[in-house]
């Protein structure tokens, strides 16, 4: 079938693209700059690269008219703290205008778990995008995920930085917030599994791993897998601003992303509607195994994508992992 993949040079898009091609689908990979999309394949009969900026008005016939389905994997959380909500809204509306001129039967969107009464700005923006996409004439399948664990993911790299750099951590109280992490492999399996699946059309599902953990437990289990001893002290007086600076200075993420992540980490992200487990019958990978699989990829230099890939500066990013050997027991 003919599939549109937006955000094809992002963390999820780069992982989903080879799966779609291997399953025999004809994929139209939509990116703002084709020079930044490294697929390892030459465009041919099954891969077509489209240069599309969904933040701008585009010709109505820009997309192929005979599409079967479309993945919407565009996010702007690393943009400015003030305007990412508006950017995501504009992008979603422009996408709907274009996709409504095609014969596509399904939109698949990867959103965030938003079951709390009070949502962070990040999760509220995701919910708003869901509303915009549901206004298309095409059926929407909405998958809501929490923390995604995999080599190169923002969550994984933050946890890795904290655990491997800090023997003792003085942390904010949001480390006691519960979440339901999911392995990147399971996310990709779900994204492909719902493709034109009749039981998934027009429905919303929460997707998560088999465990509910606090962020504190995630840090400590990560340390155990890496054979490191870590002490975590939680204090109630660290403000969101201080928490953001803490992540920004200790980890590799940008300050804008740190602010948005801290805002989201104060909200519990646990699955409620996850009947998709019974529909697709996908074996779930637990948190420890997810970490082991991630490091297996890193040590073999087989990291397919990074959270930095879709950033504007991504074209200037040099992957130093190609030149180093990952320490077996962590590092300071």
Q: Give the pLDDT score at 162.
A: 82
- The dihedral over CA atoms of 297, 40, 70, 306, expressed in degrees to the nearest 10, equals 40
For residues 87-102, one letter each, b for 16 or more C-beta atoms within 10 angstroms of the residue's C-beta and e for the rest, the string is: bbbbbbebbbebbeeb
Q: Give the pLDDT score at 316.
A: 45
**How do residues 312-325 score in pLDDT, each as one tens digit?**
444 444 444 444 45
Q: Which residues contact 325 (CB under 8 A, 6 or more apart)?
A: 299
**How do residues 139-158 score in pLDDT, each as one tens digit?**
999 999 988 998 878 788 88
Q: Give the pLDDT score at 313.
A: 41
Q: Give the pLDDT score at 312.
A: 44
Q: Give the pLDDT score at 175.
A: 83
Spell out, as residue ranges, where the chain has pLDDT lower than 50.
78-80, 301-303, 306-307, 310-324
Q: Give the pLDDT score at 299.
A: 65
């Amino acid at each position: 079938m003919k599939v549109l993949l937006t955000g094809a040079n992002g963390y999820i898009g780069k992982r989903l693209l080879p799966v779609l091609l291997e399953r025999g689908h004809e994929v139209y990979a939509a990116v703002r700059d084709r020079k930044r999309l490294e697929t390892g394949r030459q465009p041919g009969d099954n891969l077509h690269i489209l240069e599309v900026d969904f933040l701008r008005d585009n010709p109505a016939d820009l997309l192929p008219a005979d599409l079967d389905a479309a993945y919407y994997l565009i996010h702007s959380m690393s943009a400015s703290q003030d305007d990412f909500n508006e950017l995501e809204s504009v992008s979603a509306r422009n996408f709907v205008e274009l996709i409504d001129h095609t014969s596509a039967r399904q939109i698949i969107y990867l959103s965030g778990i938003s079951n709390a009464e009070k949502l962070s700005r990040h999760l509220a923006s995701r919910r708003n995008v869901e509303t915009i996409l549901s206004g298309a004439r095409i059926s929407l399948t909405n998958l809501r995920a929490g923390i995604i664990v995999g080599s190169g993911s923002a969550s994984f790299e933050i946890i890795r930085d904290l655990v491997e750099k800090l023997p003792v951590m003085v942390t904010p109280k949001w480390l006691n917030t519960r979440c339901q992490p999911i392995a990147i492999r399971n996310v990709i399996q779900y994204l492909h599994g719902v493709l034109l699946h009749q039981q998934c059309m027009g429905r919303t599902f929460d997707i998560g791993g088999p465990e509910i953990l606090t962020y504190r437990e995630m840090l400590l289990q990560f340390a155990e897998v890496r054979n490191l001893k870590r002490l975590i002290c939680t204090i109630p007086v660290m403000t969101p601003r201080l928490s953001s600076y803490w992540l920004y200075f200790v980890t590799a993420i940008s300050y804008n992303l740190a602010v948005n992540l801290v805002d989201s980490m104060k909200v519990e992200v646990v699955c409620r509607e996850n009947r998709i487990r019974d529909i697709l019958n996908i074996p779930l990978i637990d948190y420890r195994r997810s970490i082991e699989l991630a490091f297996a990829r890193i040590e073999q230099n087989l990291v397919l994508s990074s959270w930095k890939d879709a950033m504007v500066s991504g074209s200037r990013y040099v992957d130093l992992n190609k030149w180093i050997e990952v320490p077996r027991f962590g590092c300071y």
